[in-house]
Amino acid sequence: LLAVDLVISPYVLAWEVSFEGFIAYFSVTLTIFWTVELLLNFCTGYREMDLLEKRPAKIAIRYLKTTFWLDFTLVLSDWLTTAFLLAAGNMKFLAGRLVRFARFVRVLRLLRLVRFVKFSKFLEDLVDQDLPDAVRVLIRTITTTSLVLWLAHLTSCGWYAQGRMMRGDARGWLTMLQDQEDTAYTYSTSFHWSIAQLTLGASEITASTTL
């Protein structure tokens, strides 16, 4: 779920996908999942000095002193943004200020990307296990490749969002596409551009400035 969330959240924000249907159900499911995960952290043991600590009081105190407040902030923002976007999705008309606030709420959902830290910690713990060297190399290779692809995905979402803000401007790259603006084509074009920046490859789309 975390990996899917890290991919979907930037895409939904960049392409301004309507908060309904699968996206709405998925968001609610994720919010419930992270809420349950936060509660389970109060009873999840940890190792200290090669000993497994299982005492609930010790576990709770340690969690409150470490990542609880970050987790709580993320879960709270998830509930607030999900509730607002669900309510806004049922409105046929939004006032100007409310529209701007809705956009801010969508940006706020990028806080979910902070959970990438948890994902990386999980991968580190997986590699640190007593595994054969070949398996460790395979895990590290998959991890590195996935990280590069995820960074390319983030870059492509940002590139499309920038192009959308310049829509109508003759210098905007989306304007150059003319009628070829279906989601699959624009995403593949954005992703190709981002990969080209990471690997110094060629791309027909180029960035420009007004200077």
pLDDT digits (tens, 9 = 90+) for 64-89: 998 888 888 888 888 887 787 777 65
Token pair in block for residue 4? 């899917």
Name the pLDDT band for 92 (thresholds 50, 70, 90). very low
Q: What percent of the chain has pLDDT over 90?
A: 5
Cβ-in-10-Å burial (0-12, 13-18, 19+) of 49 comes to exposed
Q: Which residues pair with 51 in a beta bridge?
A: 48
CA–CA gap between residue 24 and residue 90 (Å, rounded): 12
Residue 39 pLDDT exceeds 70 = yes
CA–CA gap between residue 31 and residue 77 (Å, rounded): 9
Q: Which pLDDT score, from 0 to 100, does residue 36 have? A: 93
Q: Over the chain, what is the mean pLDDT?
A: 76
Within 8 A by CB and 6+ apart from 191, the residues are: 152, 153, 156
Phi, psi (degrees; rounded to nearest 5) at 53: -85, 120
| Mean per-residue pLDDT, 95-122 | 61
Q: Which pLDDT score, from 0 to 100, does residue 88 have? A: 67
Q: What percent of the chain has pLDDT over 70?
A: 68
| Mean per-residue pLDDT, 168-195 | 75
